[in-house]
Amino acid sequence: MRVAIPIAAALALGAITARAERPADFEARFAAEARTADPAFAGFSAERGRAFFTNAHGGDWSCASCHRNDPSVVGEHIVTGKRIEPLAPSANAARFTRPASVAKWFQRNCNDVLQRACTAQEKGDVLAWLMTLPAKETR
Amino acid sequence: MKLSIPVAAILLVSSASAAESKRAPLPPAYVEECGSCHVAFPGRMLDAASWQAVIGGLSQHFGVDASVDAKTLEPVRAYLEGSARRKPTAGADGQPLLRITETRWFVHEHDEVPSRLRPGGAEAVKPAECGACHQQAATGSYAERDIQMPRKGATR
C-alpha cells in the first residue's frame, strides 16, 4: 500500500498533463472566444489565415520567416538556424494537441511578429488554414 | 528508516546537480523551454549572475519574447544556477554578459575557427548554431572528438 499512493498520484498527474486535444478542439475554443469578443463573428477563413501568416504586419518578421510560406515542411529559426518541425497538423501530429504549448507559442510569436497578442479571430483563421494543408515529405 | 531511502535519493540527486557534471543529461524541462529556438546551452557556459540576468529578461530575449510562466521556469532556474560556470562571465564593465559568444572562454576556445565560418565569412555559421560543428551539441556535449567543421564549399 505504501507504493500504491505515489503510483496513484503519478497516474492522476499523468491523466492531467497528458490530456491530448485535437486541432479541431482549439478551433472550437477560438470560435467561442471570437464570438464572445464580437457577436457578429462569421467563422474562420483559411485564406485570411494564410495572408495573416505570410504578412510581416509592418515589422521585420512574419510567421513564415521561421515556419516557411508552406508550414507543412520543416522550418528554421531565422536568427539561430535551429530546425523547427512542421507546424501543419497533417505533417506533425504533435501540433495543436497541448493547450499550454499552443498558448505559449501564440503569446511569444504574436509578440515577436505583431508586438501584441493575436485575437481569437486571427488564431482561428491561421489554424483553419493550417488544417487545410496536406502532409508533405519533410526534408 | 522508511523515510531514509527517499531522503537519500533526494540528497543524491541534489548533490549530483550541484556538481558540475558534463555528462549529466540536460533536464527535459530545460530542453523543452529553451531548446526550441536554439540548442539548449549547458549551464556551464555562463556564470550564475549571467543566467539570472538572462532569466530576468526572457520577455525581451535578444529581441524575441521567450517568456516562461513562473511554475515552468523553476526547474529551468534550478538547473542553470546549479550547473553555472564558477568562473565569472562578466564583461569589461563588470556587468554579467548575456551572450555566450562574448565570454572570454568562448572567444578563446574558438580562436582556431577559420574566417570563412565566422560572422561575415563566406560560409558563416550563425552564432547560436553550435550544432554546425559540435555534432553532439543537442545533448550538451562539446567534446573535441565530436567537433566536425563544415567542409569548405559544403552546402548546408
pLDDT tens for each residue of A24-66: 999 999 999 999 999 999 999 999 999 999 999 999 999 999 9
Q: Does A108 lie at the interface with B, CB-CB under 8 angstroms?
A: yes
- The answer to whether A82 contacts B129, with C-beta atoms less than 8 Å apart, is yes
Task: Tell me whether residue B119 is in a domain.
Answer: yes
Please check whether residues B74 and B28 belong to one and the same domain. yes
**Phi, psi (degrees; rounded to nearest 5) at A81:** 80, 5
Exposure letters A11-22 (e unless 16+ CB within 10 A, then b): eeeeeeeeeeee
Please check whether residues B82 and B125 belong to one and the same domain. no
pLDDT score at B155: 62
pLDDT of A69 higher than 80? yes
pLDDT score at A137: 59
Distance CA A115, CA A108 (A): 9
CA-nearest residue to A113 within chain B is: B64
Please check whether residues B57 and B94 belong to one and the same domain. yes
Distance CA A88, CA A95 (A): 7
pLDDT of B93 higher than 80? yes
- The answer to whether A77 contacts B66, with C-beta atoms less than 8 Å apart, is no
pLDDT score at B25: 87
A80, A84, A108 member nearest B128 (Cβ): A80
Distance CA B7, CA B91 (A): 41
| Reported confidence tier of residue A136, pLDDT bands at 50, 70, 90 | confident
Question: Which cell goes with B137?
Answer: 551539441
Tens digits of residue pLDDT in A101-123 = 999 999 999 999 999 999 999 99
**Number of Cβ within a 10 Å radius of residue A138:** 11
% of chain B at pLDDT higher than 90: 80
Average pLDDT (B3-10) is: 49
Mean model confidence pLDDT for chain A? 89
Please check whether residues B37 and B91 belong to one and the same domain. yes
Distance CA A73, CA A58 (A): 25
% of chain B at pLDDT higher than 70: 84
Q: Architecture of domain A21-130 in CATH?
A: Orthogonal Bundle (1.10)
**Number of Cβ within a 10 Å radius of residue A61:** 17
**What's the one-letter identity of residue A46?**
A
Task: Tell me whether residue B1 is in a domain.
Answer: no
Torsion of CA B19, B31, A138, A123, to 10 degrees: -170
CA-nearest residue to B67 within chain A is: A108
Comparing C-alpha atoms, which of B110, B112, B120, B125 is closest to residue B156?
B125
- Chain A residues in contact with B73 (beta carbon < 8 A): none
User: Comparing A73 with A3, which gets the higher pLDDT?
Assistant: A73
pLDDT score at A120: 98
- Chain A residues in contact with B63 (beta carbon < 8 A): 79
Question: Which cell goes with B31?
Answer: 530542453
A80, A84, A108 member nearest B67 (Cβ): A108
Task: Tell me whether residue B16 is in a domain.
Answer: no
Question: Which cell goes with B9?
Answer: 535519493
| Reported confidence tier of residue B12, pLDDT bands at 50, 70, 90 | very low
pLDDT of B145 higher than 90? yes
pLDDT of B7 higher than 60? no
Task: Tell me whether residue B106 is in a domain.
Answer: no
Domain ranges for chain A, please list them.
Answer: 21-130
pLDDT of B154 higher than 90? no
- The answer to whether A82 contacts B67, with C-beta atoms less than 8 Å apart, is no
Q: Does A111 lie at the interface with B, CB-CB under 8 angstroms?
A: yes
Please check whether residues B117 and B74 belong to one and the same domain. no
Task: Tell me whether residue B13 is in a domain.
Answer: no
Please check whether residues B90 and B150 belong to one and the same domain. no
Tens digits of residue pLDDT in B32-91 = 999 999 999 999 999 999 999 999 999 999 999 999 999 999 999 999 999 999 999 999
Domain count, chain B: 2
Please check whether residues B74 and B129 belong to one and the same domain. no
Nearest chain A Cα distance for residue B28, angstroms: 15
Which domain, by its residues, includes B135? 112-156
